[in-house]
Structure 1
């Protein structure tokens, strides 16, 4: 699936270690469509390399290719919009990407990094 719009928020990086001992990093960002009645969607990029390659910035106009997935936790279902390709609209294809700045963890995260959600 594809979605196009302007980036209105880039959230701090999240990272951790899986049960199998592999480290992971994700970053959420919010896109707003450029329609008369704008819609917003929050996407997640998974993996340090994909995050650095995409280099999502506020006010960029992007076209996102993504998959939808749902997970159950404590009897409730949650949707995830997993971005797997991010393109800057109107930018040359050979545009070099710069590295993503390091951000601090969110202030509402628990001190041990466990927010009680399994995903």
Structure 2
């Protein structure tokens, strides 16, 4: 599962490295702030291995795009989630540093090319008000 996030780099945490049975390893966490004008969110991602070097070419305030995978694991009956960045690049794509992984490009099928483009429809509205009578959940 590959996800993408575009945001402003606001903090790069110190690099952590060590030695395992498989050899040396290094990781570095960094924080992006999304570009949503109303409600910007801060997201912490982790760069492992050679992606740590890719991260060093960016400075605080740079707008970058990170492609990542989300993974959770359990330890002592608690769950820990990590967002592991496997491609880090400038938001405009000029500083492409994803040499280790390139997502396959999706190509439209001939049938999709022959169909006329559909007009965009407004997103459906959802009722976000809740009361005790409309809540039919069993818990």
Q: So what's the TM-score if we normalise by structure 2?
A: 0.62
Greater relative CO (CA pairs within 8 A, separation 6+) = 1
For structure 2, the residue ranges without an aligned partner over 5 or more in a row are 98-139
Aligned residues: 93
* Secondary structure, aligned partner of 2:39: coil
Q: Find the counterpart in structure 2 of residue 23 from structure 1.
A: 24
- Among 35, 39, 42, the residue aligned to 1:40: 42
Given that 2:90 and 2:96 are in contact with CA atoms closer than 8 Å, whether structure 1 keeps it comes out as no
Q: Unaligned 5+ residue runs, structure 1? A: 96-119
Structure 1 window deviating more from structure 2 (82-91 vs 34-43): it is 82-91
Residues 8 and 61 of structure 2 are in contact (CA less than 8 Å); yes or no, is this contact kept in structure 1? Answer: yes
Contact preservation (8 Å) 2:89, 2:96:
no
| Rounded Cα–Cα distance in structure 2 between residues aligned with 1:3 and 1:91 | 13
Matched with 1:92 is 94
How well do the aligned residues superpose, as a CA RMSD in angstroms? Answer: 1.8
